[in-house]
Structure 1
Amino acid sequence: MEKLWSPWRSKYIDSFSESSEKGGCIFCSAWKENVETTNSLLVRKAVNTFTILNLYPYNNGHLMVVPIRHLSEFALLSEEENKEIMSELQLAQKALSIAMKPHGFNIGANLGKVSGAGIDDHLHFHIVPRWNGDTNFMPVLAEIKVLSEDLMQTKEKLLAAYLKLKN
């Protein structure tokens, strides 16, 4: 089996241990922000969940749907949280389809460090838009992931798409 190294991910994962050492959860802190705040990655707040852009996305538009309640076990989600997570993932897919026009999506969760979770103490679900040919030689040869759009530009597109869905 060949290995694909992504050392940039170590910086990302290490940033969460630093946050934990300071006594905080990055998701619990993010929830306290306002969607309207200029540099906030927060895209949407619901009753039991929120949707946020991934600071280190696999692709443009990489979102995470996160329960507000701090928990790490999927099995501990309440029925309301579970239903809302699924509804918010569907809404995020619709918003991403309007804003980004991807050809497909990856949706899922990494439960535990060994499964690849960068933040394993606060459950969250990823929705990653995909395009034909969205992986190229740059990550393999140059250890660089090319993202063509600034996160705040992506956020503006998504906010407009969510607004369209609301009307």
Structure 2
Amino acid sequence: MDHLWSPWRYRYVTKEDTARPACVFCEKQNELTVFTAQHCYGLLNLFPYTNGHMMIAPFEHVSRIEDLPEPAWIEMMRMARLAERNIRAAYRCEGLNLGFNIGSVAGAGIAGHIHLHVLPRWNGDANFMTVIGETRVHPESLEDSLAKLTACDWTLSAL
């Protein structure tokens, strides 16, 4: 059996890192921020499914869409349209997944703060490594993904 080691992740999964805030979206992980708008911002997923996997989160800490003020909801959806356009252009992907996981039973890793996942998809991107080896292989670093996406036009007037 082969082993892939990621010791940097241990503190995250065991919550040993006491410096970690209760909500990474409220911290705004500035080193991973793709864009900042009036009511929301976009950031890379620290544990991406594919390269270019980003999330759009409101600044307001709410756990359900219904609790989000209308202007923030509208802006999030407009930014999702820009994310679709920009990820298609930057990654030349064949499709995209966009989705909310609301509540921990629905798969939300951070259930207290809603966020929209936006990730590019390609035919065959769920290969044997993911299915059999339970391992994901990313050919691009987070720094390269960040550079690629921050170079895009994130102004709402671009719509």
The whole-number CA distance in structure 1 between the counterparts of 2:127 and 2:152 is 28
2:22 aligned to which of 16, 21, 24:
24
1:36-62 residue CA offsets vs partner (Å, 9 max, x unmatched): xxxx11100000000000010111100
The question of whether the paired residues in 2 share the 8 Å contact of 1:107 and 1:125 is answered with yes
Partner residue in 2 for 1:108: 99
Give structure 1 stretches of 5+ with no counterpart.
1-7, 34-39
Contact kept, 8 Å, 2:44 with 2:52, in 1: the verdict is yes
**For 1:8-157, what aligned pairs fall within 5 Å after superposition?**
15=13, 24-30=22-28, 33=30, 40-157=31-148
Alpha-carbon offset, residue 23 of structure 1: 5.2
- Residues 19 and 25 in structure 1, CA contact (< 8 A), matched pair in contact too: no
**Partner SS, residue 26 of structure 2:** helix
Q: Deviations over 1:108-157 (max 9, x none)?
A: 10000000000101110001110111110001222210111001101111
Could you give the per-residue CA deviations for residues 27-86 of structure 1, whole angstroms, max 9, x where no partner exists? 11126x3xxxxxx11100000000000010111100100000111111111110110010
Q: Which runs of 5+ in 2 are unaligned?
A: 1-5
Runs of 4+, deviation exceeding 4 Å: 14-23, 163-167
CA RMSD of aligned residues (A): 2.6
Using a 3 Å threshold, how does the CA distance of structure 1 residues 64 and 75 change in structure 2: closer, same or farther? same
Question: TM-score when scaled to structure 2?
Answer: 0.84
Alignment CA distance shift 1:165-1:132 (3 Å): farther
CA distance in 2, matches of 1:124, 1:58: 15
Do 2:79 and 2:156's aligned partners in 1 also have CA atoms closer than 8 Å? no
- The amino acid that maps onto 2:69 is S
Question: Is the contact made by 1:16 and 1:26 (CA closer than 8 Å) also made in structure 2?
Answer: no
Relative distance call for 1:51 and 1:163 in structure 2 (3 A) is closer
State, as a whole percentage, how many aligned pairs show the same letter: 39
